[in-house]
Amino acid sequence: MSKKSEKDSDLKGTLYSVGFVGLFILISWFMAFYLFVDRF
């Protein structure tokens, strides 16, 4: 049982890190897009 909960928390941590990285990429992409549109 302890092994199962350990895997669950590990999965949740992975999910959060992936979400954080995805959010960071999304924000940087939007900023680059905004700068590109702002130029012209």
Distance separating alpha carbons of residues 32 and 22, to the nearest angstrom: 15
| Predicted pLDDT of residue 38 | 86
Residue 39 binned pLDDT confidence (cut-offs 50, 70, 90): confident
What are the tens digits of pLDDT across the range 1-36? 556 666 778 888 899 999 999 999 999 999 999 999
What the block records as the tokens of 23 is 């959010």
pTM of the full structure = 0.56
Domain range summary for the chain, segments of one domain joined by +: 1-40
Amino acid, single-letter form, for residue 21: V
What the block records as the tokens of 33 is 């897009």
Q: How many CA atoms lie within 13 A of 2 on its CB side?
A: 0
What the block records as the tokens of 17 is 């890190």
What the block records as the tokens of 27 is 């924000």
